[in-house]
């Protein structure tokens, strides 16, 4: 007699952003990886608008839309769309999506065995946590600590009490069965705020194969620029302070060129700043992940800057892992957790943030590193410590334990 396979556990992945939006760390590849681990996965998210806060072509706002992305069911919930510097509009964006998520989980949540909440805004975990025993267990995946990410970005309105926001931000942390985060520093803060269990999982890079078309695209993006070429690929926002990178390139000796891939609210200001600084900078706008990887591999060095704020004590941008995967030398201008990660990573040079002259000297030094030996040691480190393959089994194990805990509680009640 053939014994049937046990039923697959069902996971609802909640994320503020999802494909076709770019560089989604817990996006479709994460959903597929969980499926490979034996789970059935669906996604609840908003309508695609990142990073500019405008709906993508082919989408119009409505209360609900069901999509399929890469064979995964995606539930898109209507919300206010904004990604600018206006605090009220940003609050409306966060709150409106949280309200929609609350009702979605209240209606459909018991169909799932686990809810995996990607933070993002703390409003999503708050909405799910409010449902208490009416929902399945929750794993909270914290990339940006709240309220630090709000206050550091300058979106915190003075009329809102900080203590209230801190309580609100900690609510979802306390309600989660398990909290995943990206650094030891963040894990310590989360435990102080009431997390029952924490696990540190390194973010992996954009593991997209580079095609011949991607390489040709990278060549076109860099054509006509004088070597050495330094590249930055990522969000163009206030905390990234790409203007400091531009200033560093402007004073570098010998001269160098800077390629900037990505978009964001500071893009127009950065273009004007590059003209004023008389630096050789080429802005590419958004580029596909494969082309971005090809640009990184073709660069002489890569650079990451994170302005020193309360958030930078615990944050490690995922672009660092993508950079390391490329095998090119990386200059990291940051403090806190990102600096600690860079200090342990081969091929990374560390400097203080907001110091253009020091950054310029580090970029020159990075471009002179032995490329072959540097690339080999960086890729080994990435495969062993940062890759999806090295981290996904841990995440799947966390999901199984959270589901198992709920099953034990259910059995104890019967």
Residue range of the domain that includes 121: 10-204+387-413
Q: What is the pLDDT of residue 348?
A: 97
Q: What is the pLDDT of residue 164?
A: 77
- For residue 2, tell me if it sits in a domain: no
309 pLDDT higher than 50: yes
Distance CA 208, CA 284 (A): 19
85 pLDDT higher than 70: no
Q: What is the pLDDT of residue 52?
A: 81
- Contact status, residue 273 vs residue 243, Cβ threshold 8 Å: yes
Distance CA 302, CA 385 (A): 20
**Residues 151 and 196 occupy one common structural domain:** yes
- Contact status, residue 256 vs residue 225, Cβ threshold 8 Å: no
Q: What is the pLDDT of residue 405?
A: 57
Q: Assign residue 201 a region: left if phi > 0, alpha if psi is -120 to 50, beta otherwise?
A: beta
- Phi, psi (deg, nearest 5) at residue 353: -75, 160
Q: What is the pLDDT of residue 410?
A: 42
CATH of the domain at 299: 3.40.50.2000
65 pLDDT higher than 70: yes
Largest separation between any pair of C-alpha atoms in the chain: 77
Within the chain, how many helices (H) and strands (E) appear? 15, 14
- Quick one: average pLDDT of 110-119? 95
409 pLDDT higher than 50: no
**Residues 311 and 335 occupy one common structural domain:** yes
**Residues 180 and 280 occupy one common structural domain:** no
**Residues 401 and 291 occupy one common structural domain:** no
pLDDT band for 411, please (50, 70, 90 cuts): very low
- Contact status, residue 312 vs residue 152, Cβ threshold 8 Å: yes
148 pLDDT higher than 60: yes
Least confident window among 63-77, 151-165, 279-293, 315-329 = 151-165
- Quick one: average pLDDT of 146-173? 75
- For residue 181, tell me if it sits in a domain: yes
pLDDT band for 159, please (50, 70, 90 cuts): low
The structural domain count of the chain equals: 2
List C-alpha distances in Å: 54 to 49, 50, 59, 121.
5, 7, 10, 18
- Quick one: average pLDDT of 110-116? 96
**Residues 359 and 310 occupy one common structural domain:** yes
**Residues 49 and 190 occupy one common structural domain:** yes
- Quick one: average pLDDT of 111-131? 93
Beta strands per DSSP E along 94-171: 114-119, 138-142
The token pair at 294 is: 């090809």
Full-model pTM = 0.85
- For residue 3, tell me if it sits in a domain: no
pLDDT band for 151, please (50, 70, 90 cuts): confident
- For residue 113, tell me if it sits in a domain: yes
If you average pLDDT over every residue of the chain, what do you get?
A: 91
List C-alpha distances in Å: 161 to 37, 96, 101, 199.
43, 20, 25, 30
**Residues 77 and 50 occupy one common structural domain:** yes
**What's the alpha-carbon Rg for the chain, to the nearest Å?**
22
88 pLDDT higher than 90: no
The token pair at 250 is: 């402007």
**Residues 240 and 320 occupy one common structural domain:** yes
**For the CA atoms of 58, 59, 65, 67, what is the dihedral angle to 10 degrees?**
40
- Taking only the tens place, the pLDDT of each residue in 356-392 is 999 999 999 999 997 888 899 999 999 999 999 999 9
Least confident window among 134-138, 162-166, 304-308 = 162-166
**Residues 62 and 124 occupy one common structural domain:** yes
**Residues 92 and 241 occupy one common structural domain:** no
**Residues 33 and 181 occupy one common structural domain:** yes
- Contact status, residue 257 vs residue 249, Cβ threshold 8 Å: yes
- For residue 294, tell me if it sits in a domain: yes
**Residues 15 and 116 occupy one common structural domain:** yes
């Amino acid at each position: 007699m053939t014994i049937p396979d046990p039923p697959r556990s069902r996971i609802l992945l909640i994320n503020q952003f999802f494909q076709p939006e770019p560089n989604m760390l817990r996006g479709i590849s994460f959903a597929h990886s969980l499926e490979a681990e034996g789970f059935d996965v669906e996604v609840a998210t908003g309508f695609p608008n990142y990073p500019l806060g405008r709906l993508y072509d082919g989408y119009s706002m409505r209360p609900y839309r069901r999509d399929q992305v890469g064979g995964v069911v995606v539930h898109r919930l209507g919300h206010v769309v904004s990604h600018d510097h206006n605090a009220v509009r940003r609050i409306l964006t966060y709150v409106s999506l949280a309200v929609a998520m609350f009702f979605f989980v209240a209606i459909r949540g018991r169909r799932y065995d686990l809810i995996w909440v990607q933070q993002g805004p703390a409003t999503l975990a708050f909405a799910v946590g409010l449902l208490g025993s009416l929902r399945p267990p929750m794993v909270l995946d914290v990339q940006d600590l709240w309220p630090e990410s709000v206050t550091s970005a300058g979106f915190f309105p003075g009329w809102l009490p900080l203590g209230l926001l801190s309580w609100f931000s900690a609510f979802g942390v306390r309600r989660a069965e398990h909290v995943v985060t990206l650094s030891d520093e963040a894990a310590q803060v989360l435990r102080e705020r009431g997390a029952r269990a924490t696990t540190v999982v390194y973010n992996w890079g954009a593991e997209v194969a580079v095609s011949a078309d991607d390489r040709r695209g990278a060549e076109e993006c860099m054509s006509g620029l004088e070597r050495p070429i330094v590249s930055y690929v990522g969000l163009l926002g206030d905390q990234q302070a790409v203007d400091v990178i531009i200033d560093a390139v402007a004073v570098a000796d010998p001269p160098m060129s800077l390629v900037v891939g990505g978009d964001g609210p500071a893009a127009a200001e950065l273009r004007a700043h590059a003209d004023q600084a008389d630096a050789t900078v080429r802005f590419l706008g958004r580029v596909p992940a494969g082309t971005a990887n090809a640009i990184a591999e073709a660069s002489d060095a890569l650079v990451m800057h994170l302005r020193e704020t309360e958030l930078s004590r615990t944050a490690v941008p995922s672009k660092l892992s993508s950079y390391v995967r490329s095998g090119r030398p990386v200059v990291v201008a940051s403090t806190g957790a990102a600096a600690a990660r860079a200090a342990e990573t081969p091929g990374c040079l560390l400097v203080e943030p907001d110091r253009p002259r020091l950054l310029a000297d580090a970029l020159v030094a990075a471009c002179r590193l032995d490329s072959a030996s540097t690339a080999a040691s960086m890729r080994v480190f990435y495969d062993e410590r940062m890759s999806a393959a090295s981290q996904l089994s841990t995440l799947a194990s966390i999901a199984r334990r959270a589901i198992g805990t709920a099953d034990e509680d259910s059995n104890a009640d019967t």
